[in-house]
């Protein structure tokens, strides 16, 4: 198995390279030209590294030569001032260019796996709880729509060129290096400040028509320090919930999507075995870092939960990590 991994220096990508190398696969890692994170690949001296931007068809064509499998992780994620067209250029047309690269390479491709997102299910106001893969995908933001277009373009090319494909839709990915930042007062200040972005925020439906949420948070937090463990509740006091996906489970799921015959032609939600409630998330942070815990009431409820039964039954996906496992591998904040 000779696997091209795009986005190989990313949060998921570098872990996927490790997963594949451990499994004995021959890895070609695609990185952006001049990528400052390229040193993340130095623990893997035996892999081949190729430079290509998803906007550069000739470079992509070269990257796609002599590979039997593709794991497509490269993407434009949600970043403050990203120009709108970039989400489509990277996540939709970049996927098209990569598929064209596979076609131009001419060799039979045994599996093309696309990493997609819970963001395709309208994360600010999900159409169902929990979300199965059959839930409507109506994202109404640029990132989610770009990822959904990537899925559609893949399905079209797969049908045109007989490419065996699989799609994984990740919950919010948590890596041990970053998990200690979550469920903190400072973290929620950042998230709620997105309300000021209006419809430029990927979860704008959650904030739409609400009063100033940052003010509500700060009024209840009082003098609490920014590192205080904080979870949010709805007006009935019930904690918000969200599905998380430890990066180690993400790469296990990707590996199954890449290798299991049953995966072909299907999309799979990937998440931890159960959603994390904000009460639990804040308690984990409070215990691990010895900080006080606060629950703060918001005027609305929010639940973004992925149903993973399809991945379990068809792929044998069995996530091993909960939020607390990511924290326990991380040092003090």
Ligand X SMILES: NC(=O)c1ccc[n+]([C@@H]2O[C@H](COP(=O)([O-])OP(=O)(O)OC[C@H]3O[C@@H](n4cnc5c(N)ncnc54)[C@H](O)[C@@H]3O)[C@@H](O)[C@H]2O)c1
Q: Residue 248 and residue 7: Cα distance in Å, rounded?
A: 16
**Does 144 sit near ligand X (CB under 6 A)?**
no
Q: Which residue number, 18 or 293, has a Cβ lying nearer to ligand X?
A: 18
As given in the structure block, the two tokens for residue 122 are 């309208």
Q: Which residue number, 179 or 282, has a Cβ lying nearer to ligand X?
A: 179
As given in the structure block, the two tokens for residue 227 are 């590192």
Buried b vs exposed e over 104-131: b needs ≥16 C-beta within 10 Å? ebeeebbbbbbbbbbbbbbbbbbeeebb
Residue 73's nearest CA partner among 110, 21, 29, 39 is 29
Which residues inside 68-107 make contact with ligand X, applying CB under 6 A? 73-77, 90, 94
Per the CB < 8 A criterion, the answer to whether 323 and 272 are in contact is yes
**Does 141 sit near ligand X (CB under 6 A)?**
no
Q: Which residue number, 145 or 228, has a Cβ lying nearer to ligand X?
A: 145
Residue 129's nearest CA partner among 257, 317, 274 is 274
Q: Residue 265 and residue 263: Cα distance in Å, rounded?
A: 6
Provide the sign of the torsion angle of the four alpha carbons 312, 317, 319, 320, taken in this order. Answer: positive
Q: Which residue number, 170 or 207, has a Cβ lying nearer to ligand X?
A: 170
**Does 9 sit near ligand X (CB under 6 A)?**
yes
Answer for which of 173, 257, 298, 326 binds ligand X (CB under 6 A) is 173
Q: Which one of 63-71, 170-178, 181-189, 198-206 is the stretch in contact with ligand X (CB under 6 A)?
A: 170-178
Q: Which one of 9-17, 275-283, 287-295, 315-323 is the stretch in contact with ligand X (CB under 6 A)?
A: 9-17
**Does 251 sit near ligand X (CB under 6 A)?**
no
Q: Which residue number, 25 or 75, has a Cβ lying nearer to ligand X?
A: 75
Shortest distance (Å) from residue 262 CB to ligand X = 22
Residues that bind ligand X (CB under 6 A): 7, 9-13, 32, 35, 53-55, 73-77, 90, 94, 115, 117-118, 147, 170, 172-173
């Amino acid at each position: 198995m000779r696997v091209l991994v795009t986005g190989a220096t990313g949060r998921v990508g570098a872990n996927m390279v490790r997963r594949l190398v451990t499994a004995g696969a021959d890895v070609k890692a695609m990185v952006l030209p001049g990528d400052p994170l390229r040193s993340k690949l130095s623990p893997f001296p035996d892999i081949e590294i190729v430079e290509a931007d998803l906007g550069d068809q000739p470079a992509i064509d070269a990257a796609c030569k002599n590979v039997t499998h593709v794991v497509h992780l490269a993407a434009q994620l949600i970043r403050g001032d990203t120009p709108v067209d970039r989400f489509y250029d990277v996540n939709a047309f970049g996927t098209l260019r990569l598929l064209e690269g596979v076609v131009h390479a001419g060799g039979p491709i045994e599996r093309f796996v696309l990493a997609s997102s819970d963001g395709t299910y309208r994360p600010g106001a999900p159409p169902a709880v929990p979300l199965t893969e059959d839930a409507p995908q109506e994202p109404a933001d640029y990132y989610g729509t770009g990822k959904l277009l990537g899925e559609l373009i893949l399905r079209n090319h797969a049908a045109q060129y007989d490419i065996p494909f699989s799609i994984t839709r990740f919950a919010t990915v948590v890596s041990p290096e970053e998990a200690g930042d979550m469920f903190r007062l400072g973290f929620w200040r950042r998230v709620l400040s997105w309300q000021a972005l209006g419809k430029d925020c990927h979860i704008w439906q959650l904030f739409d028509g609400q009063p100033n949420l940052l003010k509500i948070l700060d009024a209840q937090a009082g003098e609490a320090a920014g590192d205080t463990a904080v979870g949010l509740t709805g007006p009935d006091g019930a904690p918000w919930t969200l599905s998380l996906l430890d990066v180690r489970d993400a790469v296990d799921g990707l590996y199954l999507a890449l290798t299991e015959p049953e995966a072909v032609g299907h999309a799979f939600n990937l998440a931890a075995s159960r959603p994390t409630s904000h009460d639990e998330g804040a308690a984990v942070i409070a215990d691990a870092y010895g900080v006080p815990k606060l629950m703060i009431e918001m005027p609305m409820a929010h639940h973004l939960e992925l149903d993973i039964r399809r991945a379990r039954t068809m792929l044998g996906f069995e996530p091993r990590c909960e939020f607390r496992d990511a924290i326990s591998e991380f040092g003090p904040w």
